[in-house]
Amino acid sequence: MKTNRLVVLLGLAGFIVMADNWVVSPILPAISKSLGVSTPSAGVLITAYMLPFGLFQLVFGPLADRFGKSRVVLGTLALFTVATGLCATGASLTQLAAFRALTGVFAAATMPISLALIGDVVPMERRQQAIGSFMGISFLGQALSMGIGGAIAYFLNWRGVFIVYAAFAAVITVVLWRGMAQVRATESRNPNARVFAPYAQLLRDGSSLRAYGIILAEGVFLLGSFSYLGATLAERYDLSFLAIGAAMTAFGVAAVIAGRMSSKISARVGRRNTVVGGLALAAAADLIVLVGEPSLALTIVGIFALGYGFMTAHSTLLTFATEFAAKARGAAMSLVTFCFMLGGAIGTQAGGKIVAALSYDRLYLIYAVGLALVAVVAVPGLRRSSGVAEPIQVSV
């Protein structure tokens, strides 16, 4: 099977998962109004999704190594479709949070296992470009999700968002099932793969431990910043849900562009410098959002810069991680997403407390400083070379 076609097919799965993953942020004001709760309180919906999304990475990675990566992606995507539909029925904040948690469980497999499968079949010299393309297609879902989700919430209601997404996920599941038949028949499996041993060995290695720590911190401050952009736009400019979704599309568009450009940047300046530059740009983006209050246009520039900085840094960190353990690549990539989403859950929850006690402006100031510190730590934390790490010998 041609690797370009595989990347596109996996990108379709990533497309709908990322569309669902990020859609709550722009419609958070609509949900909070409908359920009669404050927007910071409704932020628990983001945390409820992120925590199981992160935790179940640790389960699906070894399962994918053992039973086949394509099988795990397809099975969980089908269950994800059902869980997304259930979200449309949530009658209270608690019930909706439970359904979002269930969605997060089944969404957990798609991104890391797809990335692991790409790591299996794409040679190293083309891997960052393939990862960038996959992430670009995936984040195109996120980009369109902002506008589409906001439009549905504006013209219909927030429940309609989940109904539409569940229907779209069902179509993609069928397309992926038919298109990946050859992969299912030929992919390698490791029946002796263990659940926890690969993680312990990955974390005992100094180079991978430092990379995972940087990814965790990236999740805290970057996802934490993103989670309240919709609420910030609503408070500052009293925008409709449609306008909020359109403004936040800038993040996804920037991520798509950066996904295509990151491999070229990395080839020119090196992977470590690409990560540092992306994190520094994200820190600057938070400051632009902070000072952009008088101007909606300037705030949108900050949102665009945050998306570009995120994808520049994150796609490069993902390429690092594909090299950590060839025989347990599912576990290695699952640990990446676990760290990132755990950080996002921490950052979102902490951000809600900062907003409640202080303000949205103070949140972006604190998280800008945090991202700048992560960029500084990444300088000694990542290797100085082109980024080719010596694979860790993981017992299977």
Q: Which of 371, 253, 248, 392 is nearest to 313 (CA)?
A: 371
pLDDT of residue 9: 84
pLDDT of residue 393: 47
* pLDDT greater than 60 at residue 386: no
- Name the burial class of residue 178, with classes exposed (0-12), middle (13-18) and buried (19+) by CB atoms within 10 angstroms of its CB: exposed
d(CA 147, CA 149): 6
Q: Which of these ranges, 126-135, 192-201, 299-308, 331-340, has the smallest mean pLDDT? A: 192-201
d(CA 53, CA 338) in angstroms, rounded, equals 7
pLDDT value at 26 more than 80? no
| Single-letter residue type at 211 | A
Q: Top-level CATH class of 3-183+191-381?
A: mainly alpha
**Is the pLDDT score of 395 beyond 70?**
no
Question: DSSP alpha helices (H): ranges in 187-240?
Answer: 197-204, 206-218, 224-227, 229-237
- Give Cα separations from 93 to 26, 28, 87, 137, 242 (angstroms): 17, 12, 11, 31, 22
Q: Is residue 374's pLDDT more than 90? A: yes
What type of residue sits at position 381? G
Q: How high is the pLDDT of residue 384? A: 43
Residue 214 predicted with pLDDT over 60? yes
Task: Using alpha carbons only, give the angle 240, 242, 243 rounded to the nearest 5 degrees.
Answer: 65
For the chain, the domains span 3-183+191-381
Higher-confidence position of 326 and 199: 199
Question: What is the model's pLDDT at position 285?
Answer: 96
pLDDT at 307 over 80: yes
Lowest-pLDDT choice from 118-122, 255-259, 353-357: 118-122
Angle at CA 391, nearest 5°, toward 387 and 393?
A: 160
At residue 392, the pLDDT reads: 47
**pLDDT score of 219:** 92
Q: How many helices and strands (H and E) does the chain possess?
A: 19, 0
Q: What is the mean pLDDT of residues 179-188?
A: 68
Per-residue pLDDT, averaged over 138-164, amounts to: 78
Q: Ramachandran region of residue 36, left (φ > 0), alpha (ψ -120 to 50) or beta?
A: left
pLDDT at 50 over 90: no
pLDDT of 221 higher than 90: yes
Work out the average pLDDT over 124-151: 75
pLDDT for residue 289 = 94
Q: How confident is the model at residue 391 (pLDDT cuts 50, 70, 90)?
A: very low
Contact indicator for 344, 137 with CB cutoff of 8 Å: no
Residue with tokens 């060995």: 201
Give the integer Cα–Cα distance in Å for 220 and 222. Answer: 6
Mean pLDDT of the chain: 82
Structure tokens, 356: 């409640």
More confidently predicted of 82 and 185: 82
Q: Which two tokens mark 363?
A: 């949140």
DSSP string covering 229-292 = HHHHHHHHH---HHHHHHHHHHHHHHHHHHHHHHHHHHHHH-HHHHHHHHHHHHHHHHHHHHHT
* Alpha carbon distances (Å) from 235 to 44, 104, 229, 230, 293: 19, 28, 10, 9, 10
Mean pLDDT of the region 132-158: 76
Lowest mean pLDDT among 9-18, 145-154, 191-200, 303-312: 191-200
Mean per-residue pLDDT for 98-121?
A: 87
pLDDT recorded at residue 188: 63
Instruction: Give dist(CA 350, CA 50) in Å, integer.
Output: 14
Q: Which long-range contacts (CB under 8 A, 24 or more apart) does 130-134 make?
A: 130/3, 130/7, 131/315, 131/318, 131/319, 131/322, 132/259, 132/260, 132/261, 132/262, 132/263, 132/315, 133/7, 133/11, 133/259, 133/260, 134/7, 134/10, 134/11, 134/14
CA–CA gap between residue 133 and residue 258 (Å, rounded): 10
What pLDDT, on a 0 to 100 scale, did the predictor assign at position 383?
62
Q: How confident is the model at residue 228 (pLDDT cuts 50, 70, 90)?
A: confident
